[in-house]
Every structure is written in structure tokens, then in C-alpha cells.
Amino acid sequence: MKLIVGLGNPGLQYERTRHNVGFMTVDRLADRHARAAIPRGRFNAVTIEASLPGPGGQEEKCLLVKPTTYMNRSGLAVADVVRFYKVDPVADILILVDDLYLPCGTIRLRDSGSAAGHNGLADIQRCLGSDRYARCRIGIDPPVQIPQADYVLGRFTDDQWPLVDTAISKAADAAELFVRSGMTAAMNKFNGKTEDPPARKPASGPPPSSTDPLSS
């Protein structure tokens, strides 16, 4: 069993926003591999059961996951699914997440590492007790003359969208290769020369509440 988790915020008001590019990638995978599947609400998430080509051409059972908590509580869903299925976070989880420090149209895969200031990843790390889990960062461009909170909760521009749509397909391809051949193969194929994003400075003031849609 592999878990492919897209991060985002629930609710119609956040659909197709920059912060929800992880959700959009899960939807792309569901369209490819689980069109007839019925989404289920469980594990603090919406889940879709899918079968993807696995090692040796055998079918691999996968659970596509979109947490129904807000971004900064994404770890609740991940931890619930890990406990239920008793999977190995190191080998069996791939997180799909937006990244401000990557340009639109690009993705970057890592098998471990810091959250780089992203509260969704930070909460997953907190709930799992480790930073050793695979993640695929999907570039959304840094904001220019727009407050970061407004930018990530806004929708892609007409110029950005074709690049983002390509990156979503690329991230879905990377997830398929992760299931079929493992994270090293996916990193070797899809990682370019883009540097890892720097850690963001923590925001001042109290931590966000469980109903805060932001991860900045």
C-alpha cells in the first residue's frame, strides 16, 4: 500500500488556489487511475482507492488522500492513515505540496529534509516524529508586490496556469514512478538543477489556529 497525499485547504472558496496545487495533483491521479472510485470521508480526509502499476508490472494498491483539516493540521490525516494501514513513512508515503520558492512549471522531489517553513509539512513532521518521508514540491512562483497570505490563497494567473497544468501532470507522473520504482528513480528522472528552497522566517505572533487556511 502506498499513500499519495495532496496538501491543500478544504472548501469551495479554496478550489484551484495556489495553495491547493497538491489537491489538484491528487485529482489528476484519480482521473487517470480511479475514475469509477467513490471518494470516502475518513481519517480526517477524503480518500480514493486506486491501483497503479507497481514493481514488475504488478498492480499496487494506493490510497489518494486529501486532508479535510486546514493546511496547518495536515499531519492529523497522514498520521491516521499511517496508523491504520501500518505503512512505513520512509518507503510508502509521498506528499504533494506547493512551494513559493520554485517557479511555476517546475517540481522538486526529496526523500527527507526540513519543512522549509511550510506549516503543512511541519505538521506532518510533528505528527510522524520524523522528517524522513518523500515529498514532491510543486512551484507556484514567489509573490511580487502581493502579501504572501493573499498570494497563496489566490488563483493562478492566465500566464501561470499553462505552466502549472504542466507541472501538475509532471508531479502525477513522478508519483506514478514513485509507486512503480521508488523515490530514488523518481528523483533521478524529475529533479532538475533548481536549488532547494531556503527556510522561511517564522511568522511573528501566535501559531495559526486549526481553522487557519494558511501555511505561510
Plot region of 183 (φ>0 → left; ψ -120 to 50 → alpha; else → beta): alpha
Known catalytic residue at 118 = no
Indicate if the pLDDT at residue 198 is higher than 50.
no
How much is the pLDDT for 114? 85
Q: Which has the higher per-residue pLDDT, 84 or 208?
A: 84
Note the pLDDT tens digit of each residue in 106-133. Answer: 999 999 988 887 889 999 999 999 999 9
Handedness of CA 110, 40, 43, 214 (dihedral sign): positive
Q: Are strands 40-42 and 134-139 parallel, antiparallel or unpaired?
A: unpaired
Closest CA to 18 of 187, 170, 189, 146: 146
| Catalytic residue chosen out of the listed positions 2, 18, 19, 28 | 19
How much is the pLDDT for 58? 86
Q: Which CATH class is domain 2-190?
A: alpha beta
What confidence tier does 199 reach under pLDDT thresholds 50, 70, 90? very low
Distance, in Å, from the CA atom of 131 to the CA atom of 90, rounded to the nearest integer, reads 9
Percent residues over pLDDT 90 in the chain: 65
Handedness of CA 199, 203, 206, 208 (dihedral sign): negative
The domain segmentation of the chain, as residue ranges, is 2-190
How much is the pLDDT for 183? 94
Indicate if the pLDDT at residue 81 is higher than 80.
yes
| Contact by Cβ (8 Å): 179, 33 | no
* Amino acid symbol at 11: G
| Contact by Cβ (8 Å): 94, 211 | no
